[in-house]
Amino acid sequence: MKITAVFENGVLTEERPGAVKPQQDLWNKKKGGLVVVECPQRIPCNPCNTSCPVSAIKTFSDINDVPEIDYDKCTGCGICVAVCPGLACFVIDLTFADGLALLKLPYEMLPLPEKGATVKCLDRTGKAVCDGKVENVAEPKKDKTKVVHVAVPIDKAHDVRAIRVV
């Protein structure tokens, strides 16, 4: 089975409108992290905007708009991670620990990871690229979408987008 990873089959391979990440200098020092949104298609959806407690995700003029973010406001709280129906929001904290980033990733599978456990960290194609340590398993909206906080090597922070419990 020859599987190519291209944008057309659901892998973000390059910068695009709607695939939003912070300026590196701000990101490097922002405690608690900042949100990364990978939503590069105009679809009718706005819960990221309407749920953001600090209005960091700018108000849409058309419900089909792709998200834009005011990174001066984002606190990395992760509410949008839990709310986004497309599971397209991720918080990345580059200040977590020396050499480690903390990712807050949406998770709706079984088994649930346990705090302290080591999990496989998967890139956008599902390839395991490193191990990560689960720091917390939250459920911000109490609606069964978990937000898993996982520490990964800082150089993998921009690749890891999912976990597999092993």
Partner 1 sequence: MYLSHISEEQKVIDVDLISAHPVLDYSHGAKVSFSFDGKSMEGFEGEPIAMALHANGVRVYRSTPEMRRPRGFFCAIGKCSSCFMVVDGVPNVRTCVTPLKKNMKVETQEGRGTIKLDGVA
Partner 2 sequence: MRNLTTDVLVVGGGPAGLSAAAEAAAAGASVIVAESDLHLGGQLVKQSHKFFGSKEEYAGTRGFEIAKVLKDEIAGSGAKVETLLNTTVTGYYPDENVVTAMIGEEEYLRITPKKIIMASGAQERLIPFPNNDLPGVYGAGAVQTLMNVYGVVPGKKVIMIGAGNIGLIVSYQLMQAGVEVAAILEAMPRVGGYWVHAAKIRRLGVPILLRHSIKRALGDRVITGAEIYELDEKFNQAGETETVRCDTICLAVGLTPSSEILWQGGCKMKYVPNLCGHVPFRDKTMRTSNEKIWVAGDVSGIEEASAAMIEGRIAGISAAKSLGRDVKSDSFDKFWKRLKDLRAGEVGEKIRAGVSEVLVDGWE
**Minimum distance of partner 2 from residue 26's CB (angstroms):** 25
Per the DSSP assignment, residues forming a β-bridge with 104 are 91, 149
CA 165 to chain centre: 18
Nearest alpha-carbon partner for 66 in 91, 83, 89: 89
40 belongs to the binding site for partner 2 (CB under 8 A): yes
Of 87-106, binders to partner 2 (CB under 8 A) are 87-88
The binder of 112, among partner 2, partner 1, none, by C-beta within 5 to 8 A per type, is: partner 1
- Could you tell me which stretch among 13-21, 74-82, 106-114, 131-139 binds partner 1 (CB under 8 A)? 106-114
**Binding-site partner at residue 3 among partner 2, partner 1, none, CB < 5 to 8 Å by type:** partner 2
Measured between alpha carbons, how far is 114 from 11 in angstroms, rounded to an integer?
28
Q: Give the whole-angstrom CA distance, residue 139 versus residue 103.
A: 15
Match 């984002």 to its residue by tokens: 74
Nearer to partner 1, 146 or 149 (CB): 146
Distance from C-alpha of 33 to C-alpha of 43, rounded to nearest angstrom:
27
Shortest CB 72 distance to partner 2, Å: 25
| Residue 11 in contact with partner 2, rule: CB under 8 A | yes
- CB-CB neighbours of 67 under 10 Å: 26
Contact between 80 and 74 under an 8 Å Cβ cutoff? The reply is no
Retrieve residue 40's tokens: 């590069």
CA gap 83, 158 in Å, rounded: 21
Q: Answer yes or no whether residue 122 interacts with partner 2 by CB under 8 A.
A: yes
Residue selected from 21, 58, 124, 156 as contacting partner 2 according to rule CB under 8 A: 124
**Closest approach of partner 1 to the CB of residue 104, in Å:** 18
Residues in the site for partner 2, rule: CB under 8 A?
A: 1-12, 38-47, 50-51, 62-64, 83, 85-88, 108-110, 122-127, 143, 145, 161-162, 164
Residues in the site for partner 1, rule: CB under 8 A?
A: 108-110, 112, 144
